[in-house]
């Protein structure tokens, strides 16, 4: 007899697109498992998903409350009505997701229809949505920072002026009601009107807004790029790393392990914030189908968050040598003030050799700025973007660096490349090149990377060396007295460079 395949429709929706990242039911339940389970046996507990899309969190909460309140409210119809009217609340992201969430929760897209199990007097029930416009100031929305040029398009298209973050007083949505638990998966970013489909992160705005409601518990899944800050996230990173109320942090370096088929640069994480907790955070690294063991850690131990629990002891051992690190020597991005789309000519007469992503050409000396006085030096460069993006190769290893090479005196590059350092002699440059190729170097660089962009600050764990000599992994393992398990960890994560 053939078995019928009857998938959860919300699981199917979760795999539709990387633009709107919907949460699969399995993941929603993993997040709900972090909460104290006695919350689901209390008929007074209130739950809010303030950025609901498919309604999966609210639906799974109702299932748990239905079971947990069996002995408190024995009549099931009465129990369901109590749960829907008194304990479950949501704010939709768009009109469409509002209809979808109501369909998941009330079995009808209209909460007051004859098909609705909620029997509400209004179409919305407790899943609110109000069409909104951005509040433009100097070409940007004062609430979310959206570009007016991109999103000021009237009623013809979705504005993405999300209700929850387009107000200074989120309490007004439900008449100053307090919530025990706020949980969900917020939007991650908006097109900011920059070059090359540039996007502005906005997920941190939802975290900050949720905390204004003073819940007992906050559980959210967000991109992990905040670990290292950047692009508007520096302040948020500092606040999160210092917040002792975060009791759990579950990390996925590969977003596809969490959202099947969805690639989010830098991976994703979800966390539990507990108002009544203060202490170390339990951190787990989940890979594929394997859930990592919790390790208690101080999130603010370093200026960036080191996501890999196993790497922490290696970093401590290396930093114990108290050497200067490469972040003090790596040059800031765009050393010669040449944008990535800058191109030269084939005329070499009196011109300087320019390296771009299209290869070498020639430009006039007047077109460059040598602000670091390195034009006449040997320069070791790499591409600004991480090799292969943020995903490992099929063997599970990363290469990290690509286009690793030396520019000679009177040679420059566009901002596609990052200058690691510059030297008076070719030997010193070649010795830095040998160091950058090592597994040791690239392993330490990886620990501060949470996006595809390699910047000056991501070298904070990479120690400076004496570049009068060449470097190999064997010499570095010996210098830092690394033991075989530590070496095996490095070599399991980083692929050799030929």
What's the pLDDT tens digit per position in 206-232? 999 999 999 999 999 999 999 988 778
DSSP β-bridge partners for residue 219: 183, 272
All structural domains of the chain with their residue ranges: 9-309, 326-493
The CATH number of 9-309, from 3.40.50.150, 3.40.50.1380, 2.40.128.110, 2.60.40.10, is 3.40.50.150
Q: pLDDT 10s per residue in the chain (498 long)?
A: 344 434 454 454 443 333 458 899 999 999 999 999 999 999 999 999 999 999 999 999 999 999 999 999 999 999 999 999 999 999 999 999 999 999 999 999 999 999 999 999 999 999 999 999 999 999 999 999 999 998 988 777 788 999 999 999 999 999 999 999 999 999 999 876 655 456 889 999 999 999 999 999 999 999 999 998 877 899 999 999 999 999 999 999 888 888 988 888 888 999 999 999 999 999 999 988 889 999 999 999 998 999 999 999 999 999 999 999 999 999 998 999 999 999 999 999 989 999 999 999 999 999 999 999 999 999 999 999 988 776 778 888 999 998 999 999 999 999 999 999 999 999 999 999 999 999 999 999 999 988 788 999 999 999 999 999 999 999 999 999 999 999 999 999 999 987
Contact (CB, 8 A) for 397 and 490: no
Contact (CB, 8 A) for 144 and 162: yes
- Among residues 271, 265, 325, the alpha carbon closest in space to that of 297 is found at 271
């Amino acid at each position: 007899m053939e078995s019928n395949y009857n998938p959860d429709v919300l699981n199917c929706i979760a795999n539709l697109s990387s633009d709107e990242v919907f949460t699969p039911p399995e993941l929603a339940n993993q997040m709900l498992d972090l909460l104290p389970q006695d919350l689901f046996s209390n008929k007074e507990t209130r739950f809010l998903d303030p950025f609901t899309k498919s309604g999966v969190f609210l639906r799974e909460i109702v299932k748990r409350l239905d079971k947990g309140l069996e002995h408190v409210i024995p009549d099931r119809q009465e129990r369901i009505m109590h749960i829907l009217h008194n304990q479950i609340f949501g704010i939709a992201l768009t009109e469409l997701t509002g209809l979808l969430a109501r369909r998941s929760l009330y079995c009808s897209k209209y909460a007051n229809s004859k098909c609705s199990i909620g029997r509400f007097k209004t179409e919305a029930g407790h899943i609110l949505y109000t069409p909104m416009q951005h509040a433009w100031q100097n070409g940007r929305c004062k609430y979310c920072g959206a570009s007016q040029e991109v999103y000021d398009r009237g009623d013809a298209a979705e504005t993405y002026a999300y209700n929850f973050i387009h107000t200074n007083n989120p309490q007004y949505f439900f008449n100053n009601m307090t919530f025990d638990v706020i949980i969900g998966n917020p939007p991650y970013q908006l097109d900011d009107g920059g070059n090359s489909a540039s996007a502005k992160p906005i997920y941190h705005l939802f975290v900050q807004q949720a905390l204004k409601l003073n819940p007992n518990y906050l559980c959210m899944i967000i991109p992990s790029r905040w670990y290292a800050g950047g692009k508007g996230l520096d302040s948020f990173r500092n606040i999160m790393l210092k917040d002792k109320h975060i009791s759990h942090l579950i990390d996925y370096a590969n977003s596809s392990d969490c959202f099947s088929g969805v690639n989010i640069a830098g991976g994703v994480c979800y966390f539990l914030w507990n108002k009544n907790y203060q202490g170390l955070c339990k951190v787990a690294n989940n890979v594929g189908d394997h859930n990592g063991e919790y390790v208690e850690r101080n999130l603010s131990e370093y200026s960036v968050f080191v996501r890999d629990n196993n790497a922490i002891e290696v970093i401590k051992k290396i930093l114990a040598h108290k050497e200067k690190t490469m972040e003090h020597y790596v040059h800031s991005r765009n050393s010669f003030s040449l944008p990535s789309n800058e191109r030269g000519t084939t005329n070499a007469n009196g011109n300087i050799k320019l390296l771009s992503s299209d290869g070498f050409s020639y430009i006039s000396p007047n077109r460059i700025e040598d602000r670091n006085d390195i034009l006449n030096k040997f320069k070791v460069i790499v591409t600004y973007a991480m090799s292969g993006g943020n995903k490992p190769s099929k063997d599970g290893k990363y290469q990290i660096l690509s286009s690793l090479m030396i520019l000679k005196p009177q040679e420059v590059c566009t901002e596609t490349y990052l200058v690691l350092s510059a030297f008076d002699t070719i030997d010193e440059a070649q010795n830095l090149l040998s160091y950058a190729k090592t597994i040791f170097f690239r392993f330490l660089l990886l620990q501060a990377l949470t996006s595809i962009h390699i910047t000056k600050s991501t070298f904070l764990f990479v120690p400076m060396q004496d570049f009068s000599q060449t470097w190999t992994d064997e010499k570095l393992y010996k210098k830092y007295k690394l033991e075989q398990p530590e070496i095996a960890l490095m070599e399991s994560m980083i692929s050799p460079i030929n």
